[in-house]
Amino acid sequence: MRKLRPRSPSATAGLAAVLLITAPTASAARSATPSASDTGRRIHQHTEIIQLDARQTRSENLDVGKKGLSPGDEILIAEDLYRDGKKIGDHTVVCTYVQTKPGELQCLGTFALPQGQITSQALLHLPAAPSVDIAITGGTGDYRSARGFVHTVPAGTHTVPAAVTERRLTFHILVDDQQEG
């Protein structure tokens, strides 16, 4: 079993976490599924469930088009990821407005963890729902064949420092383990 935990964002960070992106305890559940490939290798797959807390450390709005909110404007968000109260990684998200009325954002993010990075992507419609599933699009290290999704939910707020909103992230990751056949 694996445990991973992060803390999450404030209002805009919550948006980013919801976009992509952001539990006090965590575990990785594994279930192996063998399959054969054309190369004679056996591919075993396992599923990992990882829970983290995310806490926003930075949020910035970029007005890159016409003055005021317009397609192409961006939101940049950075978060620290925690497990059992200890920082174990970070998360960054860049969201680009595709439409402004109604609000629609295309978001790309990367979770940097001790075992490797996990990349993610989501199309967010505003106002954002409290919980959002974000697609896992790949990764590096132990996550180089990762696919699945990250489920994000609010995890409370703190008044110090400055009303930080936390989010819980639950990663549902399917990973291939290749072995010679």
SS3 142: helix
pTM: 0.74
At 15 the pLDDT is 41
Q: What is the DSSP string of 75-92?
A: EEEEEEEEETTEEEEEEE
At 134 the pLDDT is 97
- 164 pLDDT tier (thresholds 50, 70, 90): low
Predicted confidence (pLDDT) per residue in 28-75, tens digit = 444 444 444 455 666 788 899 999 999 999 999 999 978 999 999 999
Mean residue pLDDT across the chain: 79
At 176 the pLDDT is 87
> Is the pLDDT confidence value at 137 over 80?
yes
- Kindly list the distances between the CA atom of residue 122 and the CA atoms of 2, 15, 28, in Å, as whole numbers in the listed order: 26, 12, 23
At 12 the pLDDT is 40
User: For a pLDDT cut of 70, what percent of the chain falls above it?
Assistant: 69
